[in-house]
């Protein structure tokens, strides 16, 4: 088991890396939001993240989100980053600020049915086409965005992807770059409900590449809060 460093310490390292990468990529660090992914850690560790200055928390399970929400509530902005079963929507919908895993019309329909508010959603895209990855195939995304007009509760704030699990940096970079290109195509559609300004990409192992390729939200678990399991 690895030693668990303080979140504050990890956060400093990540923020320094973000500054370095932004400097080289001609971007402002202010454009990058860090989401602490707390799925492998306790409520206490998630609280530590918030007191260390983390503003965004991400969970991939309804139970994990609800448990942490009980104690942290509006002290953080909440992101649901995992595959979302339609029947779980009503449990979490009034607790979350962002959903990163919109990938089918039935889910959009359920979200629309269960809330009065506007929900900021990322369309999750399976850029690499790997079977194991969730998300919508790339070629279906533009058609899907058009269909979302029928569900006014949904605001498409951006696109989300997970890079393939590989050591091959070029392959990871291509995945992020392809997602960025898709964002441009959606923006050209000029749809009021799909401004699509954000890019949710980059995790502990690949967030530097993601920032170089245009990430605005990076989702960091192990490198920030660790893994207590």
Ligand X SMILES: *Cc1c(COP(=O)(O)O)cnc(C)c1O
The contact set with ligand X (CB under 6 A) reads: 37, 39, 60, 81-82, 162, 203-205, 219-223
* CB-based burial label for 26 (10 Å; 0-12, 13-18, 19+): exposed
Q: How far apart are the first and last CA of the chain?
A: 9
Classified as helix, coil or strand, 45 is helix
By C-beta, is 15 or 191 nearer to ligand X?
Answer: 15
CB of 54 to ligand X, least distance (A): 13
* 99/80 Cα distance (integer angstroms): 5
By C-beta, is 63 or 188 nearer to ligand X?
Answer: 63
CB of 39 to ligand X, least distance (A): 6
By C-beta, is 37 or 123 nearer to ligand X?
Answer: 37
CB of 203 to ligand X, least distance (A): 4
Are 100 and 79 within 8 A, CB to CB?
A: yes
State the virtual CA torsion across 173, 177, 179, 183 in degrees, nearest 10: 150
* 10/49 Cα distance (integer angstroms): 10
CB of 100 to ligand X, least distance (A): 7
β 154-160/56-59 pair status: unpaired
Q: Which two tokens stand for residue 133?
A: 């990855």
CB of 44 to ligand X, least distance (A): 18
- CB closest to ligand X, residue no: 221
């Amino acid at each position: 088991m690895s030693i668990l460093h303080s979140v504050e310490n990890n956060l400093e390292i990540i923020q320094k890396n973000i500054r370095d990468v932004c400097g080289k990529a001609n971007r402002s660090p202010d454009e990058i939001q860090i989401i602490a992914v707390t799925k492998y850690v306790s409520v206490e560790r998630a609280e530590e993240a918030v007191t260390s200055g983390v503003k965004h928390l991400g969970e991939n399970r309804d139970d994990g989100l609800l448990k942490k929400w009980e104690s942290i509530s509006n002290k953080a902005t909440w992101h649901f980053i995992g595959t979302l079963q339609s029947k779980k929507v009503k449990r979490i919908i009034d607790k979350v600020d962002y959903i990163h895993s919109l990938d089918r019309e039935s889910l959009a329909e359920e979200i629309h049915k269960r809330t009065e508010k506007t929900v900021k959603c990322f369309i999750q895209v399976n850029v690499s086409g790997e079977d194991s990855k969730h998300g919508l195939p790339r070629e279906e995304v533009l058609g899907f965005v058009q269909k979302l007009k029928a569900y006014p509760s949904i605001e498409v704030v951006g696109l989300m992807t997970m890079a393939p699990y590989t050591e091959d940096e070029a392959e990871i970079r291509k995945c992020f770059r392809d997602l960025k290109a898709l964002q441009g195509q959606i923006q050209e559609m000029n749809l009021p409900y799909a401004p699509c300004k954000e890019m949710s990409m980059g995790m502990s192992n690949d967030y530097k590449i993601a920032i170089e390729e245009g990430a605005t939200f990076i989702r960091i678990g192990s490198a920030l809060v660790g893994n207590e399991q």
